[in-house]
Homo-oligomer: A and B are copies of this chain.
Amino acid sequence: MSPQAYGFLHERFARIGAISGAISVLDWDSQTMMPKGGAEARAEQLAVLSVLHHEAISADDFPDLLDRAEEETLSDWQSANLREMRRMHRHATAMDPGLVDAFSRATSECEHAWREARADDDFATVLPLLETVIDLVRDQAAAKADALEVAPYDALIDMYEPGGSSQKIDHLFAPLADRLPEILQRVLERQSESPTPVVPQGPFDAGRQKELAHRLMTTLGFEFEHGRVDVSAHPFCGGTSDDVRLTTRFDETDFTSAVMAVIHETGHAMYERGLPPEWRGQPVGTARGMAVHESQSLMFEMQACRDNGFIEFLAPLTKQVFGGEGADWGADNLHRLTTKVERGLIRVDADEVTYPLHVMLRYRLESALLDRSLAPADLPGAWREGMAELVGAAPPDDRDGCMQDIHWYAGAFGYFPTYTMGALAAAQLFQAAKRADPGIPEALSRGDFTGLLAWAREKVHRWGSYHTTDDLLQAATGAPLGEDAFLAHLEERYLG
């Protein structure tokens, strides 16, 4: 007998998945194609689709169906799907409608104010709104903690990294805090002994950069039958698994930023594309979480494509596409350029050595904001102190300080740690891939990604949300997520 309750749930989630897909495409359109004047109508469309999504996922009969399905005879994948259904349902119903509404309004207002406040370097204006948001995030965390039966901050993390917890993060971040400052210092000393890398002479025509993007995406295995690349203010990867849409932006004075952004987003895209096709639209068929997602973008961008080997392939290609001449176009300079480390102020521009330090600051501060050991009004000062301590560079203003990231102003607490978990996972996975297929580094230096991609598909992509992050890492690499591979990678690339 086929599992009846589970069957109902499967159908419901197929519908929910289709609504998510529609939202994703409309969101992509908002950022790439939509004329300005369409914003209001689009906001209405997205709001209505979100309500329909929420209504579908929080239907009254869900708890009963979930319980009945639990008693049915299910395959392992169906069981994993049921587990993820329950998680989604719990998140969707944890907050009462009044709180959902208040949260949505407050974050939308605060995010809007943040854009202006940041431009004006005026933290005081946005502070009261941020205080309201933080109060509501505490309510959100409490409500989700009840529903998920975990600690409040862990309930927030679970939205982005299912099963994540501050305990796990502390465990991962402690050795980084211990080792990174010293590694950073040594790397800077080492790099000061080499010639300063230079960006080859531009300008770099956007059309040529787009051509280069196409060629690199094809090299990495991207199928244009199932996706596209366009331009948006901030690079992202959207769409659906069979229609993956990534974006980039072209800086006519420096082609490397778009190159690395395209490779990064293609890593995300390959993950989406490689999710299990037989589970499209079902919870278990979606990406495991932001840490694993980021591991796939970083495995391509940081591990594979900033490696000396791939740079040997990339340098002549860029030279050819832009018709460049001279030593600045050589692999040596390009490698130094793409692995340059510095004590910078801005997280999104940070190299892989300092990036975790930026993230650790945010993790420390958001934890303190939530447990009230830091008042929002004291955030600018705490930011400057933390930056000086961790990165060794303090911002002269709040624009490039505590107002540089949208996350908190948009109500996203618990997200930042996933960037560094992703970086650790990327190193650990890439190490395992090379162990399994020792020909990978040489293949990459020929622009051949088939081995790496096949391994990632087999060990990561095709599992969707079947495993927990820990189980996925364990199965793929033989160990749970840790910092060893990452630290070894830094030692090898920067100090070897």
A-side residues, CB < 8 A to B, are 14-15, 18-19, 21-22, 25-26, 29, 33-38, 40-42, 44-45, 47-49, 51-52, 223-228, 239-243, 280-281
Contact = CB atoms under 8 A, between A and B. Distances in A.
Instruction: From A15, A44, A49, name the one whose CB has the most chain B CB atoms within 10 angstroms.
Output: A44
A360 to B, nearest CB: 39
Given A26-B26, A52-B52, A21 B36 contact: no
Nearest to A44: B18
Main SS of chain A's interface residues?
helix
Given A41-B243, A44-B18, A33 B33 contact: yes
A242 B48 contact: no
Contacts of A29: 25, 29
B225 A36 contact: yes
Given A228-B35, A280-B41, A47 B22 contact: no
Contact of A21 (B18, B19, B44, B243): B44
27 contacts: A14-B44, A15-B51, A18-B44, A18-B45, A18-B49, A19-B49, A19-B52, A21-B41, A21-B45, A22-B45, A25-B26, A25-B29, A25-B42, A35-B224, A35-B226, A35-B228, A37-B225, A38-B226, A38-B239, A38-B240, A40-B242, A41-B240, A41-B242, A41-B243, A42-B243, A44-B281, A52-B52
Contacts of A243: 34-35, 37-38, 41-42
Report the copy number of this chain in the oligomer. 2
A37 to B, nearest CB: 4
A37 B281 contact: no
Contacts of A223: 37
